[in-house]
A = this chain, B = another copy of it.
């Protein structure tokens, strides 16, 4: 059975890749077709991602566009771009014909501006062409940019029997029927039905009598992240998209939302780690450098700022040298506490659970950091006793560190909240940005407070 091959057990082995490479090299088309026929398009995409460009293009041109169109959508973005460069506008248009409108529009949007029109003009199915052209007009970060035109739509005036007959035609074009959307004469969305409801209903009933008027929907210009939140919250598997006049335009399915959620999570994770742009472990050194170096330069400037601060205290090196030994510790604690606080706030903001007044949050964060800071300060004093450090110095170090921790927690908490209020993505604040500013601020505070206690 082919089950075995399409199952969770699919493993991308070196043997398999070598086998494909050999078949491409010897141009053994028949065997190659036979071999790849067994695999799911997502698996073929994984194989192609491992081949060189020439081999991958060979395979794409060999297989039916019915299969390769889906393979193309699953490829790594960089590889897809290269492969599309090696296909003619006509060949790309043939792939497009096989894709659902949302995937088709995404694929075309990735092409260089000048090629887009050329490819679109070569699409033969006029309805498909018009729908894709419409989808290309929406911003990719909105519901319109994510939706597909494929859906099953019925008019409230139809009967159940007539409806079943008619949707057989519509349903063939739709990969999965989630909901049947009910519209009035003006194409306005007025409700929904499930196939199940339709099957369970008597065949002479009118749709108007059985449809459910309580339907969730999103506006076409809604932000995709908000669409994702709604669908996750209400456990929806598809949601219709309407325009300002409630006219039904398309639908968004949960698999697209899964992709949005994954991308969003990956982006936040990378920002927290000080990496911009959407890079992967297998990207080129140049791309990785572009994503990483700017944040390191930021960190470097922070470090150079600390050099300035410490230079100012050079005169106490003879009297209290130990303060200088503690600066990496102070910087680390300020950075760690700041990242913790900001990460919790960023997640809270993303999940809409940061409620209540700012004053309450401030009091809570101060309380929390006082507890943590006090515990850590005791450890520092204990350490000082063990290594036989001057007790006034130990006290000064412990108390200053505690203050640094409180300030770092407050910075970590309020910077993301302020960014969010100003409409800036708060995730940007969890990474090197918070670490760096807390490093400088922490070391400055440390010397000032220690100076007050020890007296220099």
- Residues of A near any B CB (own CB < 8 A): 1-3, 6-8, 12, 40, 42, 50, 164, 167-168, 171-172, 174, 176-178, 194-196, 199-200, 213-219, 222, 226-227, 230, 232-235, 237, 254-255, 257-259, 261-262, 265-266, 268-270, 272-275, 279-282, 285, 288-289, 292-293, 295-297, 299-300, 302-304, 306-307, 310-311, 314, 317, 321-322, 324-333, 335-337, 339-340, 342-345, 347-348, 351, 353-355, 364, 367-368, 371-372, 375-376, 379-380, 383, 387, 430, 432, 435-436, 439, 443
How would you classify the secondary structure of chain A's contact residues: helix, strand, loop or mixed?
A: helix
Closest residue to A169 on the B side, CB-wise? B200
Given A8-B218, A329-B307, A332-B436, residue A285 in contact with residue B367 (CB < 8 A): yes
Give A235 to B40 CA distance when docked, in angstroms: 11
- B269 and A328 contacting across the interface, CB-CB below 8 Å: no
Residues of B within 8 A of A439 (CB): 328, 332
Residues of B within 8 A of A343 (CB): 269-270, 272-273, 275
Give A413 to B266 CA distance when docked, in angstroms: 18
Residues of B within 8 A of A344 (CB): 270, 273, 275, 279-281, 288
Known: A42-B234, A265-B265, A304-B329. 15 other contacts (CB 8 A): A8-B216, A195-B196, A273-B340, A280-B344, A281-B348, A285-B371, A288-B368, A296-B336, A297-B375, A297-B379, A299-B332, A306-B328, A306-B329, A311-B387, A335-B435
- B270 and A364 contacting across the interface, CB-CB below 8 Å: no
Residues of B within 8 A of A329 (CB): 300, 302-304, 306-307
Closest residue to A313 on the B side, CB-wise? B325
Give A236 to B151 CA distance when docked, in angstroms: 18
Residues of B within 8 A of A279 (CB): 344
Residues of B within 8 A of A282 (CB): 348, 353-355
Closest residue to A302 on the B side, CB-wise? B332
